[in-house]
Amino acid sequence: MLEYNKKIKEIAGRLLQECAVEMIIGFRKGTLPMMNEPYFAKTPADVENLVWDSNCGINLANYLTDRKEKIGIIAKGCDSRNIVTHIQENKIKREQIVIIGVPCKGMIDKRRITGMVKGEIQEVVEHDGQVTIKGDGFEETFTKQDVLQRNCAVCLHRNPVIHDELVADPVTEQTDVDRYADVEAIEAMRPEDRWAFFDDLFKRCIRCYACKNACPLCYCPTCFVDEAKPQWVGKSQDSLDIKTFHFLRAFHCAGRCTDCGACERACPVGINMRILTKKLEMDAKNLFDWEAGLDLDVRPALDGYKPNDPDVFIK
Amino acid sequence: MLFKNLMELMGIEPGRIQFSWISSAESTKFVKVVNEVTDEIKALGPNTRFVKEIAKVA
């Protein structure tokens, strides 16, 4: 995906030069390897700082919420779906944004890579589907496909669903992936084992709320976790409070989550809270034939009533 | 439906959460549903999950 850089800079430079947008939301190199950070380019000179590689996992749609100016935004498949969701939920207007679409081949999992090598990683270089990790006294090369973020490995929408400019030809979508294997594995457990599974999963949660802050869907001015009157959920480290937090946060994303993986990526202790949102996503697909953010003109499944909506759960 | 399924994924037993829609004119249905629900819940026993007793202070 490195070849995208030139094209991204060219398009971004042109948009800023023509004053078609006031800023471009993209990525610049982070201070640590595999940690690209969001960057707002506001002048044609800033464009030189924009980068694109396999460390752009953050969902940039998160930065569009309630913006008033004209914005150019670089969007991979999942970002574009969240932009559609944002437009549908009136968090931004379509005519305010110029979407620079990036066909994506997946982002690499920094946590997994860090665990695969011994020592501190100083440099990560990509070339032809390979990722080379360099550090003090070691150098290892992995196939990118083997070190993808877990959500990218099972992604079905790599190409932007909506775009004004496209930096390259669309990539081939994956077809032979089993998106819901992890959820199905938990469903096969007995209820008490599931309860124990989630106890264990959330054991390390420190309730820093990085997951909700990174999530483009979590834009409420006051989150339910911060409310005091009424207090919806306990604020302690009690395992039940943690579980309730994750349960409710996930539920607020029902029928909206695009499985962009921003939550899991942002988690400082590596909790796979995506299991919950993925279960909702799976049910939305199976029960309502709904996938979030694919089409601007179709109202979300949970937004309306259809006579054939499944109702077997109502006695 | 999504809510119920997610609760069950997290370990709430199937049958613990039930939904129904009964018109005020459907008294027989009301009695039937209440009896069914109480029987099923009694069979499951007291709920222990998502019940907070005292907050543990770290």
Pair (A165, A201) in one structural domain: no
Q: State residue A312's pLDDT score.
A: 87
Cβ–Cβ gap A236/B56 under 8 Å: yes
Q: What range does the domain containing A224 cover?
A: 178-305
Instruction: Give strand ranges (E) for chain A.
Output: 23-28, 37-41, 71-75, 97-101, 121-127, 130-135, 138-143, 165-166
Q: How far apart are the C-alpha atoms of A99 and A39, rounded to whole Å?
A: 15
Give phi and psi for A72, each to the nearest 5: -100, 135
Which of A123, A147, A175 marks a domain boundary? A175
Query: CB of A117 within 8 A of CB of A132?
Result: no
Pair (A90, A196) in one structural domain: no
- Could you tell me if B34 lies within 8 Å of chain A, comparing CB atoms? no
Residue A269: both structure tokens together = 């202790």
Locate the chain B residue with the closest alpha carbon to A312: B1
**Using CA atoms in the order A95, A80, A158, A176, what is the torsion angle rounded to 10 degrees?**
-120
- Of B1, B7, B52, which has the smallest distance from its Cβ to A310's Cβ? B1
In a domain, A152, yes or no: no
**Cβ atoms < 10 Å from Cβ of A151:** 25
**Cβ atoms < 10 Å from Cβ of A165:** 19
Q: State residue A227's pLDDT score.
A: 92
Pair (A161, A217) in one structural domain: no
- Could you tell me if B6 lies within 8 Å of chain A, comparing CB atoms? yes
Which of A175, A205, A233 marks a domain boundary? A175
**Which residues, listed in sequence order, are joined to residue A139 by a DSSP beta bridge?**
A134
In a domain, A117, yes or no: no
pLDDT in tens, B1-58: 899 999 999 999 999 999 999 999 999 999 999 999 999 999 999 998 988 877 666 6
Longest dimension (CA), chain A: 66
Cβ–Cβ gap B6/A243 under 8 Å: no
pLDDT in tens, A115-149: 999 889 999 999 888 999 999 889 999 999 999 99
**What are the Cα distances from residue A67, in Å, to A22, A23, A86, A90, A194?**
11, 11, 11, 11, 41
Give phi and psi for A80, each to the nearest 5: -65, -35
Which of B1, B3, B33, B41 is the best substitution to test chain A (most A C-beta atoms within 10 A)?
B1
Pair (A66, A208) in one structural domain: no
Low-confidence ranges of chain A (pLDDT < 70): 1
For helices A239-251 and A274-288, angle between their N-to-C axes, nearest 10 degrees: 40
Q: How far apart are the C-alpha atoms of B54 and A172, rounded to whole Å?
A: 53
Pairing of strands A71-75, A97-101: parallel
- Could you tell me if B9 lies within 8 Å of chain A, comparing CB atoms? yes
Please say whether the dihedral angle defined by the alpha carbons of residues A86, A87, A89 and A90, taken in this order, is positive or negative.
positive
Query: CB of A274 within 8 A of CB of A179?
Result: no
The runs of H, that is alpha helices, within B1-58 are 2-9, 27-44
Pair (A223, A298) in one structural domain: yes
Residue A292: both structure tokens together = 């979030």
**What are the Cα distances from residue B24, in Å, to A65, A298, B27, B38?**
44, 36, 7, 20
The owner of tokens 């008033």 is A68
Pair (A71, A185) in one structural domain: no
Pair (A96, A204) in one structural domain: no
Pair (A166, A209) in one structural domain: no
**Cβ atoms < 10 Å from Cβ of A29:** 15
In a domain, A249, yes or no: yes
Pair (A165, A239) in one structural domain: no
Instruction: Write down the ipTM of this complex.
Output: 0.86
Domain residue spans of chain B? 2-44
Pair (A67, A192) in one structural domain: no
Q: State residue B58's pLDDT score.
A: 60
Instruction: Look at chain A and report how many structural domains it folds into.
Output: 2
At CB < 8 A and 24+ separation, what contacts does A273-276 make? A273/A201, A273/A202, A273/A211, A273/A246, A273/A249, A274/A150, A274/A151, A275/A182, A275/A183, A275/A186, A275/A201, A276/A246, A276/A247, A276/A250, A276/B6, A276/B9, A276/B10
Q: How far apart are the C-alpha atoms of B24 and B30, rounded to whole Å?
A: 9
Pair (A263, A300) in one structural domain: yes
Which of A131, A148, A175 marks a domain boundary? A175
Pair (A195, A249) in one structural domain: yes
A-B interface: how many C-beta pairs under 8 angstroms?
82
